[in-house]
Structure 1
Amino acid sequence: MHNRLINKVNHLLERTFPEQRLFLRSEDGTRFIRLSPLTQALGWTGSAAFIAWSIIATAVLLMDSIGTGNLRDQAKREKQLYENRLQTLSDERDTRASEAAAAQERFNLALAQISEMQSELLSSEERRKELETGIGVIQSTLRRTMGERDTAIDSVEAMLAAAREEGTNGAAALPAQASATLTFMTEALERTAAERDQIAIEAQNAENFARDMMYEARLREERNDQIFRQLEDAVTISLEPLDKMFAKSGMSVDHILNQVRRGYSGQGGPLTPMILSTRGEGPDPDAERANRILGELDRMNLYRIAAQKMPFGMPVKSGFRFTSGFGRRWGRMHNGTDFAAPIGTPIYAPADGVVVSASWSSGYGRLIKIQHEFGVETRYAHLSRMRVSKGQRVSRGERIGDIGNSGRSTGPHLHYEVRVGGRPINPMIYIKAGRDVF
């Protein structure tokens, strides 16, 4: 049965592959090998398959080599672009920090000027009131003196009239006592007239001085208003990015600022609210305006303190690439963000805090945990070296370890986590929020 099948196949293939004989000659004689059509067909098929496989394998290797080269070049370009972007962000952060420091100096100078102007305003107001009181006294004295002068003139005229009625011939015929009285009254009238003229001149000078003081007060008020507007605009511009940054963190901004305020509750210095006596009058609008600005400056200062205590900074500065983000990966939850970089790349604390753990942790390898304010904790896994120890207090930007490949890891990288109240949060929320300011 088997031979008949083979013979049938040979008969079908005989037209395409006729039977061939391969002669082999040696010293002993000549022999031949019979190549049937089936054998030839199998040989041709195997040769064709081998050649096709060789062509396909060569093409695959060439395509893989070309693709690998392109991916490598693309990765280098992306790395260079990202490093340039990080350098730009770093320069912008330094610029913003310089601008903030300059703005703070301008604020302090402006506040000193406001305090000085407030003192001048109070002094000028007191002098104005004193002048008004003095002018009133002068006017009252002048009216009284003029009344006394008129009374004295009436008395002299009455005495002269009485003397003429008695038959005297003028001042020479008056009794000696009447003549002396007349001389005294005349001198008194002259002195009174001179005093009246002097008082009138002083009153006019006082009125002119009061008008000058009121004009200077209006000029000072206009200058104060301009300074207040500039301060209010500067504070608004400075506070806007800070408000956005903390709002993007997803935490209660009021809760954060209240907690910072409780920890920094001392008072005194240029940012203390101004308390001025109103002497029973309504509140001073300038003082209220200055206190509002001081309140905004205090809020900005609280933001600055809180920003140092929250992980808005980058744990790796340069020479890295993001390889895996926060979320599900291969069916499991990935609770952090991965930064791939060579072994030994420095890792920095993104905020002030206290190291609560620095040890080996199975899958994490060498693991550092830092507890920050407001219930925030950060974790740094797969390290090659830990440069801090448990209980140590670290500051923002301080080097805490080196990138490595310890634990369950496919290559050197940093696994970075942020947890709020023990719950994992996407670290990029804080990193992206911090880019708006730092």
Structure 2
Amino acid sequence: MLNRLAYRYHQILERHFPEQRLFLKSDTETRFIRLRPATQIMALVGGTLALAWTIVATALIMMDSIGAGSAREQSARRQALYEQRLNALSADRDLRAEEAARAQERFNIALTQISEMQEKLLASEDRRRELETGIEAIQDTLRHVIKERDIARGEVERVTLALNEQSGVATEAGRVADAMATLEFLTGALGDAAEARNEGLAEAEAAREEARLIAEAKEAQELRNEAIFARLEEALTVSVEPLEKMFREAGMSPDDLIEAVRKGYSGQGGPLTPISFSTSGGIVTPEEIRANAILNGLDRMNMYRIAAFKLPFAMPVKSAFRWTSGFGYRRDPKGAGIRMHEGTDLAGSYGTPIYATADGVVVHAGWDNGYGRLVTIRHDFGVETRYAHLSQIRVEVGQRVSRGDRIGDMGNSGRSTGTHLHYEVRLGGTPVNPMTFIKAAKNVF
């Protein structure tokens, strides 16, 4: 039964795939190769599979090319939006700085005006006190005159009595004449005293009116100063809070950064110098306290700016690229099992420029086993960045670089499966996720 089925199967194969012979002829002999139906079927199946594999591989390559093109366009659009936002933030920062400078100038003018008003107010107060002193002197004089009048009146009565006793004659006309003379003298003295008093009161009222006007002008100036201070404090808050948030999201303490920056940049000057208080025991005004708080905030923002340029908050690649592998454990692309990936990979075209992400000093520039061509930059605050698998190195050991300086070109050197940049960030020698710094800076730079 099995032989019959095998025979029929063989006949079917012979009908569709008859046995073929491939003759090989030489000068001395002729040989042939027998191609049985099973062999022909295997060859046909193998060729079909090879053709199908070729078609699938071609389709995958085309889809990858299309996807890469789309990713490049998206990266270009993101890059354009990033640059546009950076320009807008730079313009806004410059505008805030210009507004702060103008506000500082207006504040200095306001302080000068307030000082002049205070001097006028003190002068009017002194004048008022002088007038009050003059009025008191006039009143004392008037009291003295009245007292002398009373004494004179008593003296007149005594003399009149004495004359009457001596002469025995006291005419009514004489008494009337003496009384009229005394009354005229007293009336003149009282008129002069009243006129002097009225003049003193008028001068005192004028001084009070001038003091009221000066107080109103001072109050208006204080309201203007309050508006200026409020705008300055608001602008300072809007500028400083994103920087503090960026440092905290990167895992760094803003206060420690400020202290470290001050150790290297301890000088102060220019418009950010705090207002010096008098040491002669004078009272410090609230305006001086608020002005010093604003100036300290501006100085802190300046320290943040210096620290930001010394930390890797920038992108190492500015051309089109795509993320291929992130920070953390992954399956090794060379088949070495699960291994820790201590950086992040950015794939792009061969020779794509690579830039330093912060100010620092190059401590390594050469070949390093699995890293291939490697550039290592040491930054402040114990931070270090590494740029691996480069095709070309454009810096030397000991060279000081700034953020945005070109340090090499993207390549495929070392233990790599394709053109890309392996980018690492280390804190105190321990690798950390570079995306922490990149994401922390996305709303600031």
Pick the TM interval, shorter chain.
0.7 to 0.9
Q: 1:335, CA displacement in angstroms?
A: 1.8
Residue type at the aligned position of 1:204: E
Q: Does the C-alpha gap of structure 1 residues 412 and 215 become closer, same or farther in structure 2, counting only changes over 3 Å?
A: same
Q: Which residue of 1 aligns with 2:418?
A: 411
Distance 1:388 1:359 in 2: 10
Identical residues among aligned pairs (%): 43
Please give the per-residue CA displacement for 1:71-119, whole angstroms capped at 9, x wherever unaligned: 2211211121012102211110121111111101211221222233233
Distance 1:240 1:128 in 2: 42
Q: 1:299, CA displacement in angstroms?
A: 1.4
Q: Which residue of 2 aligns with 1:309?
A: 310
> Among 401, 407, 410, which residue is 1:400 paired with?
407
Q: 1:278, CA displacement in angstroms?
A: 8.8
Residue type at the aligned position of 2:70: R
Residue type at the aligned position of 2:296: G
Q: After the TM superposition, which of the residue ranges 119-128 and 242-251 deviates more from structure 2?
A: 119-128
Distance 1:121 1:432 in 2: 48
Distance 2:439 2:174 in 1: 110
Q: 1:343, CA displacement in angstroms?
A: 2.8
Q: Does 1:74 align with 2:75?
A: no
Q: Which residue of 2 aligns with 1:30?
A: none
Residue type at the aligned position of 2:370: G
Q: Which residue of 2 aligns with 1:27?
A: none
Residue type at the aligned position of 1:377: E
Distance 1:234 1:363 in 2: 49
Q: Does the C-alpha gap of structure 1 residues 398 and 13 become closer, same or farther in structure 2, counting only changes over 3 Å?
A: closer
Distance 1:196 1:423 in 2: 89
Secondary structure of residue in 2 paired with 1:344:
coil
Q: After the TM superposition, which of the residue ranges 296-305 and 12-21 deviates more from structure 2?
A: 12-21
**Residues 156 and 182, structure 1, Cα contact 8 Å, conserved in 2:** no
Per the normalisation by structure 2, the TM-score is: 0.81
Count of matched residue positions in the alignment of Structure 1 and Structure 2: 409
Q: Does the C-alpha gap of structure 1 residues 11 and 280 become closer, same or farther in structure 2, counting only changes over 3 Å?
A: closer
Q: Which residue of 1 aligns with 2:386?
A: 379
**Residues 379 and 418, structure 1, Cα contact 8 Å, conserved in 2:** yes
Secondary structure of residue in 1 paired with 2:418:
coil
Q: Which residue of 2 aligns with 1:136?
A: 129
Residue type at the aligned position of 1:287: E
Q: Does 1:198 align with 2:190?
A: no
Please give the per-residue CA displacement for 1:388-415, whole angstroms capped at 9, x wherever unaligned: 2121111111122222233333333222
Q: 1:310, CA displacement in angstroms?
A: 0.6
Q: Does 1:106 align with 2:99?
A: yes
Q: Which residue of 2 aligns with 1:208?
A: 209
Q: 1:359, CA displacement in angstroms?
A: 2.2
Q: Does 1:336 align with 2:365?
A: no
Q: Which residue of 1 aligns with 2:231?
A: 230
Q: Does the C-alpha gap of structure 1 residues 148 and 69 become closer, same or farther in structure 2, counting only changes over 3 Å?
A: same
Within a 5 Å distance, the mapping from 1:6-405 to structure 2 comes to 9-13=2-6, 43=37, 50-152=43-145, 155-156=148-149, 159=152, 162=156, 165=160, 192-277=193-278, 280=281, 283-329=284-330, 330=332, 331-405=338-412
Q: Does the C-alpha gap of structure 1 residues 353 and 14 become closer, same or farther in structure 2, counting only changes over 3 Å?
A: closer
Q: After the TM superposition, which of the residue ranges 205-214 and 425-434 deviates more from structure 2?
A: 425-434
Please give the per-residue CA displacement for 1:302-346, whole angstroms capped at 9, x wherever unaligned: 100100111111111112222222222312222222222223222
Q: Does the C-alpha gap of structure 1 residues 78 and 171 become closer, same or farther in structure 2, counting only changes over 3 Å?
A: farther
Q: Which residue of 2 aligns with 1:434?
A: 441
Q: 1:183, CA displacement in angstroms?
A: 9.2
Q: Which runs of 5+ in 2 are unaligned?
A: 19-33, 164-170, 333-337
Please give the per-residue CA displacement for 1:14-40, whole angstroms capped at 9, x wherever unaligned: 567679999xxxxxxxxxxxxxxxx99
Secondary structure of residue in 2 paired with 1:77:
helix
Please give the per-residue CA displacement for 1:33-72, whole angstroms capped at 9, x wherever unaligned: xxxxxx99x73x5555555555444444333322322222
Q: 1:238, CA displacement in angstroms?
A: 1.0
Distance 1:335 1:16 in 2: 61
Secondary structure of residue in 1 paired with 2:110:
helix
**Residues 96 and 437, structure 1, Cα contact 8 Å, conserved in 2:** yes
Distance 1:66 1:270 in 2: 65
RMSD: 3.4
Distance 1:84 1:171 in 2: 118
Q: Which runs of 5+ in 1 are unaligned?
A: 1-7, 23-38
Distance 1:315 1:170 in 2: 121
**Residues 278 and 284, structure 1, Cα contact 8 Å, conserved in 2:** no
Q: Does the C-alpha gap of structure 1 residues 339 and 214 become closer, same or farther in structure 2, counting only changes over 3 Å?
A: same
